[in-house]
Amino acid sequence: MPRASTARGRASKIRTRTFRGTRILLSAVSFVGLWWLGSWHYPSYILPGPPLVWKSFTDAFARGAWTENMGATLLHLFIAVAIIFAAGLPIGIVIGRSVITEDLTRVWLVFLQTVPTVVLIAMALIFIGASTTAVVTVTIASGLTYFLLNVIQGTRSIDRELVDMAKAYGANERVIMRTILLPSVVPYILAGSRITLGVAWQVTLFAEYLMGSSGVGFQVSSSVKLLDTSSVFMWGLSVVVLTLLFEYGAFRPLEAYLTRHTRRAQ
């Protein structure tokens, strides 16, 4: 009986994954189909069809422009996101557990949360200049608060009685962090990571666009000036496709692994 139950459970999971994959594929096909139909009713310089955008991609890839510029953007993005995660997690936990630290950092958080991105870009151009460092700095400044606020909220939601009980049994801060704090904050970290990645993509491209730094944003700026709408669509869709590949190829499996204890509890 246990083996039969396990087999049925695995079969059910396989069917669920198959149905979800089919629905996702249907969503993608409907998107491309509607786009193709729409392109018949507008000139190519307004809404280019999929064949023109695909040709723009193959040309850019053959010249090496796609790989070079996408690589530059991904480098900007990954450096900024890595710094946000590495700094935001411990800082967020400290702020969430200490009222004094929260009061001392409140003005900084409000400033970073509300200051317009275009102002940050202007400040980076003045103090740093148009460079990779400037793009990364602006992305960190814009995305850090989104991740921090989620970690802070997750830390505050932890049951204080559970922490006090662990201390009563002699658990040190390292044990409490590993067994109570981090597992409780994981859902908030994942939610904050999704939001932060979306913001980081937008800010990185915007900074490259305005600063003239190498990357996808600069290529979009150049394509707009040349009225090359196909290239604009190509670069935009390239970002969307890469984001989807990361979401389903890396982030979803990582999320399932980190939250496996919640499914076992259910």
- What is the reported pLDDT for 81? 94
Number of C-beta neighbours around residue 157 at 10 A = 12
Q: What is the dihedral of CA 75, 77, 79, 82, to 10 degrees?
A: -140
Q: What does the pLDDT average to over 112-137?
A: 89
DSSP alpha helices (H): ranges in 157-215? 160-168, 173-176, 182-211
Distance (Å, whole) CA 195 – CA 99? 25
Whether residue 15 is predicted with pLDDT greater than 70 in this model: the reply is no
Short-list 125, 129, 139, 116, CA closest to 204: 139
* Phi, then psi, of 228 in degrees rounded to 5: -95, 80
The band of 29, judged by pLDDT with boundaries at 50, 70 and 90, is: confident
- What is the reported pLDDT for 32? 84
Whether residue 7 is predicted with pLDDT greater than 60 in this model: the reply is no
- The string of pLDDT tens digits covering residues 232-249 is 999 999 999 998 888 888
- What is the reported pLDDT for 17? 67
- The string of pLDDT tens digits covering residues 147-177 is 999 998 888 877 676 766 767 766 666 777 7
